[in-house]
Amino acid sequence: MPTPARVVVLPAEDGPLQVVSIELPDPGPHQVIVKQFASGVCHSQLHQMHSPRQAPVVLGHESTGIVIQKGSEVTHVNEGDTVMVTWVPRDAAAATRIPDPAVLTLADGSTATSQNVFTWADTTIADEQYVVKVDPDIEKEVTAIIGCAVMTGAGAVENTAGVQQGDSVAIFGVGGVGLSAVVAAKKLGANPIIAIDLDDEKLAFAKDFGATHTINAGETDPVAAIKALTPHPGQMTMFEGEVSGADFVFDCIGLKQTMEQIVPAARSGFFGAEPGGTAVLVGVPQTPVELNAIDVLLNEKKFIGSIGGSCSPDRDFSKYLEWYEDGSLNLDSMVTERYGIDDINEATRALAAGEIAGRAILVF
């Protein structure tokens, strides 16, 4: 029996987002229908909104909800289970099939596509690989951002980079993803934890989550400032300069300027004794980047990418929920704005304008 839903649709032609009423079909064998509590509003959706498209698009990729229908082949959840919907397969290593992205037929007969899932909707339909069962007693709203913001930032620090106690960390961009990276760095015992942004309020906010130092990149050269905070006395580079720079530098923005700053901000190699630091690209890039290959070569630095924090949701989501429960991950403070579905255009405008200090969510 079809399920009514209100869904945010990005039209094929330029214009505002539309909230439409449709009927979701019965789930296929590997699909799950989820009545949602809340969804994150992620900066990467702005990139989708500004990208060329040939057909309508449905957006959103992190949420909490409850299963109301499931397909005949779905075994890991049942109707009534509390779940998170995410854009990363819950256990790709164990999967026996490639998950299918959601495709909707709109009232006018046109087809709206998604990148894996859509969560800007009061009810969604998704491949079972994107649906993660969680404890029914979780807080149902702020935990929605675990499905992208938290796993992307925290996972980049823990899974992709493998930060260890005592490592120095610098994080460019302290929105929801960057704040999650700060939290993970603190949880793992990194020191110092340096937050870099253009907004003094966001930098002050980052200190609440564990940043030990802050740098306003609009007022000072962030690379020089990071190096000044991370000297390595007694260690010399190939050219007999003093080693400095952070062990790990994360770009949670993805701009050309920040991508080109994270490699020089990473620690130089200790000539003949220790390789250099690691620059980690976390934010979604929209432009090519030019890197100083001589710096990478002579100082034995690494430039690596992190998609979705290298997370396996079945493994990692319960851990991040534990961080929330023990107070390590203050999602109540990180979620700074709440909107209803009919306010989606205002939510995306505020996000694009830099008015969201932490993370915004839609609450259904």
pLDDT for 166-193, tens place per residue? Answer: 999 999 999 999 999 999 999 999 999 9
If you count them, how many residues does the chain have?
364
What integer pLDDT is reported at residue 2 of this predicted model?
87
Q: Is residue 11 reached through a cis peptide bond, with omega within 30 degrees of 0 on the bond before it?
A: no
Residue 242 sits in the same domain as residue 108: no
Tell whether 169 and 267 lie within a shared domain: yes
Please report which helix (H) or strand (E) contains residue 242, including its range: strand 242-244
Across residues 268-293, what is the average pLDDT? 92
The sign of the CA dihedral 86, 87, 93, 94 is: positive
Residue 203 lies in a domain: yes
* Continuous segment of H or E residues that includes residue 5: strand 3-10
Owning domain of residue 164: 150-308
Q: How confident is the model at residue 47 (pLDDT cuts 50, 70, 90)?
A: confident
In a domain? residue 322: no
Which of the pair, 241 or 314, is modelled with greater confidence?
314
When the pLDDT of each residue in the chain is averaged and rounded to a whole number, the result is: 95
Q: Mention every residue, 6+ apart, whose C-beta is less than 8 A from residue 257.
A: none
pLDDT confidence of residue 272 = 78
d(CA 95, CA 357): 37
The verdict on residue 316 lying in a domain is no
In this structure, is residue 321 part of a structural domain? no
Is the pLDDT at 271 greater than 90, yes or no?
no
What mean pLDDT do residues 195-218 have? Answer: 96
Domain co-membership, 82 together with 181:
no
From the CB of residue 23, how many other CB atoms can be counted at a distance below 10 Å?
Answer: 12
CATH number of the domain residue 162 falls in: 3.40.50.720
Same-domain status, 172 and 304: yes
In order of 155, 282, 317, the CA distances from 312 in angstroms are: 9, 16, 8
Residue 120 shares a structural domain with residue 239: no
pLDDT of residue 127: 97
Q: Which pLDDT score is estimated for 313?
A: 97
In tens, the pLDDT along 317-359 reads 999 999 999 999 999 999 999 999 999 999 999 999 989 989 9
Residue 1, pLDDT above cutoff 80: no
Percent of the chain, pLDDT > 90? 85
320: in domain: no
Q: What is the mean pLDDT of residues 20-35?
A: 96
Of the chain, the end-to-end C-alpha distance in Å amounts to: 22
What local confidence, expressed as pLDDT, does residue 311 receive? 97
The verdict on 154 and 303 lying in the same domain is yes
Q: What is the pLDDT of residue 15?
A: 86
Which single residue is written with the structure tokens 């690494």? 302
CA dihedral 198, 262, 245, 156 (to 10 degrees): 100
Return all residues near 327 (Cβ < 8 A) that are at least 6 apart.
none
Residue 286's pLDDT band, with cuts at 50, 70 and 90, is confident
* pLDDT at residue 288, rounded to an integer: 92
On whether both 23 and 172 belong to a single domain, the answer is no
Q: How many domains does the chain have?
A: 2
Helix (H, G, I), strand (E, B) or coil at 270: strand
Report the interhelical angle of 200-209 vs 176-187 (nearest 10°): 30
Q: Which alpha helices (DSSP H) does the chain contain, by range?
A: 43-49, 149-155, 176-187, 200-209, 222-229, 256-265, 293-298, 313-325, 331-334, 344-352
**Dihedral of CA 24/30/33/37: which sign?**
negative
Average pLDDT (79-84) is 98
* Pair (111, 221) in one structural domain: no
Q: Are residues 233 and 99 in the same domain?
A: no
Does residue 293 share a domain with residue 183? yes
In a domain, 133, yes or no: yes
Looking from the CA of 328 toward its CB, the CA atoms found within 13 Å total: 18
User: Looking at residues 112-117, what average pLDDT do you find?
Assistant: 92
Q: What is the CATH number of the domain that holds 81?
A: 3.90.180.10
Identify whether residues 160 and 303 lie together within a single domain. Answer: yes
- Whether pTM > 0.75 for this model: the answer is yes
CB 131 within 8 A of CB 69: no
Q: How many CB atoms lie within 10 A of CB 78?
A: 11
> Domain for residue 195, yes or no?
yes
Q: Which residues contact 268 (CB under 8 A, 6 or more apart)?
A: 237, 241, 243, 244, 245, 276, 277, 299, 301
Residue 145 lies in a domain: no
Structure confidence at residue 259 (pLDDT): 96
| Mean pLDDT comparison of 50-59, 251-260, 271-280, 351-360, highest-scoring range | 251-260
Residues 91 and 197 in one domain: no
